[in-house]
Structure 1
């Protein structure tokens, strides 16, 4: 074999190896979501790639067979054709005994460098940059060769499967997409500018609904405005004037004995027609929706949808009322200030400090202050609950807790409840 023929064959082998290497990386790295979109649009090659990804055994087997065959063949050709040529050149300068070993090493180095650079490094880097594009171009070639070498592929694949089975190792590829995966994709999209800040905010809040319980956004028991069934018109009008809510609970002497609720505008309309209106009149009183305090906000939203309600009473395991929640409360977690006109619970005073309402949900504080976690956070839901849990006592003004890089100091309390906190950066770690 002449030198020209050897170089020509090695070049062909490098190209073959480059195709196999790029196909290996691209088919393994092609994003399933993007391929699924193409498959749904009728792209047959995308469907073929998804099939190979679902059962990668045959594909990986052929890749290893192909790469090893090409590598061995190139070594043989390099040794038989290039080494003698290099030896002839070196003989002109010296007759030393080490000429042949040196020629062999030079031949090996030439072939190895050529393969590393042109058959491995460059194709794989290109395939990593454009996985779907390269996969669509090479999937047909790979499927043809898998069929061509089917006996060998079957033999090696079956042997490998038997070994995995012997050691009880699962070889099933799991493509389950978790919420953490989607959040990571979403963060990457926001950093790349694909997602707008508002879109990122809305999607992140939707995932929060799965994690946050209904108690994180409810109106707490002590803040519930209700009417007793025995209240007269003057008392009812006085309460409505001070608390202009759309709906009011009707109770029997206690907040834990709820009879139902009334629409305020219906009640006022009835008072305009008749001074003596019974708060338990069936034309006024509506049946309240009761939900447990363990539900997530997403589950509450589903209940509102199925029940056709936008208002619910929250009860705990002892059947005691702990709060109420409206559809607006739930949606405010997703839409934020777009649907909520209430006073902000977290107010930034300056670059180093914040004023935070004690009833602020822990998730909101973590997001605002960029805190990854709180200690034993499953035991409380608000920043006030965090303070009480850490202090292990009824809180009072000036009590403080150090956590992460912040100092959480109580600046106002009301009836044993933490009303407001001052959060500032810790001086000891600045």
Structure 2
């Protein structure tokens, strides 16, 4: 090596620095690949992605090969730098230290930081070509890589890590929700909410989405026939429960399509109405939403009464309610949350906590009361007066409207505001 010219030595040193940059950058690129995008590219028969996936199935072997090559070129570069220093400074001992210092800075900039930063930003640009190079190299140097990994894997087993065990990249529900919430540039907000609704189906029950008992619009057979006809004509719904005195004494459900033709007949009476009734369906309040969707589909029904453990009616749920849990405001004209010009929100207190969290990406507790009204009353331990300001689980709000026994409308203020009094 001492017989080589300086130009040749500098050329070899430059080649070693380029190889070192390749090994460093490709290592970062392969380890930074998005595993889910990689699987998608494999399905599309992308050759580079296929080879990268094969290499990443055994990361211990891949890293062994990369580090074998990287350490070799770095040590060889250090030897070349030492020879150059001796040639330039006539065997002065200080020249070796100077050469080592300069080489460290050069390698740090050109062979480590720059290629690794580039690889972290554009991993596919470097990883896929590198996979073509590493595939034959791994076969060529497999005996050496196997020998190195034999000792490395034994050391890992001492600390409880099995390097040969295949890694399964899976996402839990919360991680998947985080990905969806951060994909604003890839899909419209309404589709984000729809996907969030689908993910929430696993934990939602019919109790979370039902129409409460006190809001059920139905027909009481104890009313006069004239009042019954009026109720049918003004009904905002196509299916109505029919009961005697109390909703707990349900008789059945009537579809307006069946009855509207008959109510104009002179002989229309309560018995005619009863003859048109469909059998009532009862749903336990703890039934998961996704199970109830399957039940509605299997039994070909669209409406049911939600009952508690004692058989008392707690509310009513329809197929539309279940679909709305997924698609939200896409199938309703009601706007429960309205954004104001000052950044505040006017919110209908009858909105469910789950829907409010989904619409605004909040984290109000869903264990306990199901509606915002119920959460406020539980928090305050009373029905607050209009104008009352509180901080509800970290969210400042003001009571805008109430009636005798419920909160009707609230205004959520921006979190930075101090225009509230903390009642707890």
Note the C-alpha offset of 1:154: 1.6
SS in 2 for 1:61: helix
Asked if 2 retains the 8 angstrom alpha-carbon contact of 1:186 and 1:195, the reply is no
Deviations 1:254-307 (A, max 9, x none): 3224343121120232444542434443xx222344333334544444443343
Task: Please point out which of 178, 186, 190 is paired with 1:194.
Answer: 186
Tell me the equivalent position of 1:152.
Answer: 144
Task: Please point out which of 17, 22, 26 is paired with 1:19.
Answer: 22
CA distance in structure 1 between the partners assigned to 2:126 and 2:345 by the alignment:
51
How well do the aligned residues superpose, as a CA RMSD in angstroms? 3.0
Tell me the equivalent position of 1:93.
Answer: none
Task: Please point out which of 317, 320, 324 is paired with 2:312.
Answer: 320
SS in 2 for 1:291: strand
Question: Normalization by structure 1: what TM-score?
Answer: 0.83
CA change 1:401–1:44 in 2 (3 A) is same
Note the C-alpha offset of 1:366: 4.2
CA distance in structure 2 between the partners assigned to 1:112 and 1:259 by the alignment:
87
Asked if 1 retains the 8 angstrom alpha-carbon contact of 2:16 and 2:77, the reply is yes
Note the C-alpha offset of 1:354: 4.2
Task: Please point out which of 357, 375, 382 is paired with 2:348.
Answer: 357
SS in 1 for 2:248: coil
Asked if 2 retains the 8 angstrom alpha-carbon contact of 1:227 and 1:250, the reply is yes
Q: Which runs of 5+ in 1 are unaligned?
A: 89-98
The answer to whether structure 1 residue 373 and structure 2 residue 366 are counterparts is no
Asked if 2 retains the 8 angstrom alpha-carbon contact of 1:413 and 1:420, the reply is no
The answer to whether structure 1 residue 225 and structure 2 residue 217 are counterparts is yes
Task: Please point out which of 231, 242, 258 is paired with 1:239.
Answer: 231
Asked if 1 retains the 8 angstrom alpha-carbon contact of 2:396 and 2:420, the reply is no
Task: Please point out which of 61, 68, 81 is paired with 1:65.
Answer: 68
CA distance in structure 2 between the partners assigned to 1:38 and 1:354 by the alignment:
43
Task: Please point out which of 167, 182, 185 is paired with 2:176.
Answer: 182
Asked if 2 retains the 8 angstrom alpha-carbon contact of 1:360 and 1:383, the reply is yes
SS in 1 for 2:63: helix
Q: What is the count of residue pairs matched by the alignment?
A: 411
Note the C-alpha offset of 1:220: 0.9
Question: Normalization by structure 2: what TM-score?
Answer: 0.85
Tell me the equivalent position of 2:246.
Answer: 254
Asked if 1 retains the 8 angstrom alpha-carbon contact of 2:61 and 2:149, the reply is yes
CA distance in structure 2 between the partners assigned to 1:72 and 1:287 by the alignment:
84
SS in 1 for 2:23: helix
Deviations 1:64-103 (A, max 9, x none): 2222222222222222x11212313xxxxxxxxxx82321
Asked if 1 retains the 8 angstrom alpha-carbon contact of 2:28 and 2:120, the reply is yes
Task: Please point out which of 4, 8, 12 is paired with 2:11.
Answer: 8
Bigger shift: 397-406 or 236-245? 397-406
Tell me the equivalent position of 1:408.
Answer: 398
